[in-house]
Amino acid sequence: MNWYNYIACFFAGMFLANVVPHFVHGISGDRFPTPFAHPPGKGLSSPTINVVWALFNLAAGYMLFRAGNVSSGEAPALAVFFAGIVAISILSSVRFAKKQAK
């Protein structure tokens, strides 16, 4: 695989992991931060915006998943894909822990 396939694998993991919180909050009717809130990423967006944002992340993640050949089952591709999931998960947990402290 080429270097750019690994970048696609990493961002596929990030986008696909980011689907979960936005989709769950959206379909539950809860407000949750998105890049479209005021201020961006800190304010709360409507449940509908969260569902739309989740679906965008799903589509982008799927395209990157395919571009990165993650489904080939090669260990390096899978490792980089899961590294993307780990990265966004840890960053989100730190970011949203601060949100709850307010």
Instruction: Give the chain as a 3 state SS string.
Output: CCHHHHHHHHHHHHHHHHHHHHHHHHHCCCCECCCCCCCCCCCCECHHHHHHHHHHHHHHHHHHHHHCCHHHCCHHHHHHHHHHHHHHHHHHHHHHHHHHHC
- Tell me what pLDDT residue 41 has: 77
- Tell me what pLDDT residue 40 has: 83
Q: What is the pLDDT of residues 31-87, one digit of tens each?
A: 999 999 988 878 899 999 999 999 999 999 999 999 998 988 889 999 999 999 999
Q: Where are the domains of the chain?
A: 3-101
Does residue 102 surpass a pLDDT of 60? no
- Tell me what pLDDT residue 100 has: 53
| pTM (whole model) above 0.85 | yes
- Tell me what pLDDT residue 79 has: 96
